[in-house]
Amino acid sequence: MKKRNVFFFIQAALCILLCALLSAGVVRLYAEGMARVGAGDVQSPVFTREAVLEKLTSLIPLFLLALGLLVVSVILHIRNRTPQVRDPETERNLACAGIAEPSEEMQRERGTQKKLSWFGKAGAALCMVPAVLYLCMPSHFESTQLEEVMGALLLHILPWTAAAFGLLCVTECLREKSMERETKAAVVLRRNGTSSAPRPGEEKRKNLDGEKRQQWIRGILLLAAAALIIHGVLNGSMRDVFIKAVHICTECIGLG
């Protein structure tokens, strides 16, 4: 393994460890605090500044180590940017550009991609139906015990959302494979000389009408935005924003 990669893995391990310890520290403080409250000491705060500082202080060496490695990486110019990836769709489009008559294999793959796309979207939509139905039932949101409501909401929505996204991911991966096969077929077709090579700017289509329409829509939207703002200033919704902004809602920022 390259020295560079070892460095990356050490840095990654440090980041994960630091986050895990920070999370665990807070969870532990919470558990200890709740145990005190459970024992009848309801006035005792779950968290105290001293306890939090103590936990944070114990993590300073690890934090400094991670920071030191970061400084070293900056000085030595060790970087690991997000790698460039090949996009199968673009590659497919590039390979297929200029092919007037696609081969049978290409057509078959295109059909497969279309089917997969529809299957993924329809399946995801179906998966989301129970979640949407749950959201549409007013009886699920009658209680003002928000923790219970949110818990139940997550319990009913999360699995279906995960299933929908999971299905989409699977179909997208299959589509990607199909695109790769289509690209290969297109390359073979091109090599056999049965199609013309793509010319730069071949698909150029300057739609002036579309641009004009876009400008019109932009203008209308701008006017609508200005009208909404003026209406908001007059009906008091700007004041609502101000009032909310100058007060700290302790729950909204996670204080409790």
Partner 1 sequence: MKTWWRSHRPTTRRLAQVYCALLYNANLKGFVEGKIYTGPVKNACVPGLNCYSCPGAVGACPLGALQNAAASTGARAGTYVLGILMLFGIILGRTVCGWLCPMGLIQELLHHIPTPKIRKSRITAVLSYLKYVILTVFVLAIPLWYGLKHNLPLPAFCKYICPAGTLEGAVGLLANEKNAGLFSMLGLLFTRKWVILLVVGLACVFCYRSFCRFLCPLGAIYGFFCRFALIGVRVEEGNCTRCGACIRRCPMDVRRVGDHECIHCGACMDVCPTGAISMQCGKITLKTSERVSGLKADPVFEKDQKKRIRRGHCIWAVLLVVLIAALVWFNFLAPSGTEDGSVLPQAEIGESTAPVGHAVGEQVEDFTIATTDGGTFHLKETRGHVTVINLWATYCTPCVQELPYFSQLAKEYPEISILAVHSGLVTEDDIPGYIAQRDWDGITFAVDTEDGAVYSCVGGDALLPRTIILNARGEVTYNEAGSMSHEKLEALVQAAE
Q: Which of residues 181-210 bind partner 1 (CB under 8 A)?
A: 198, 200-201, 203-206
* Residue spans of alpha helices (H) in 39-48: none
- CB-nearer residue toward partner 1: 1 or 104: 1
- 229 Cβ contact list (under 8 Å, min separation 6): none
Query: Which stretch in 76-84, 99-107, 111-119, 185-193 sits in contact with partner 1 by CB under 8 A?
Result: 76-84
Asked if 2 touches partner 1 (CB under 8 A), the answer is no
Asked if 61 touches partner 1 (CB under 8 A), the answer is no
Query: Which stretch in 10-18, 57-65, 104-112, 183-191 sits in contact with partner 1 by CB under 8 A?
Result: 10-18
The C-alpha atoms of residue 52 and residue 59 are separated, in whole angstroms, by 11
Q: How many residues bind partner 1 (CB under 8 A)?
A: 103
Scan for tokens 């489009």, then name that residue: 93
The C-alpha atoms of residue 68 and residue 57 are separated, in whole angstroms, by 17
Asked if 79 touches partner 1 (CB under 8 A), the answer is yes
What is the DSSP code (8-state) at residue 209? H
- 66 Cβ contact list (under 8 Å, min separation 6): 11, 14, 15, 18
Q: Which of 59, 62, 65, 97 binds partner 1 (CB under 8 A)?
A: 97
Asked if 100 touches partner 1 (CB under 8 A), the answer is no
Asked if 155 touches partner 1 (CB under 8 A), the answer is no
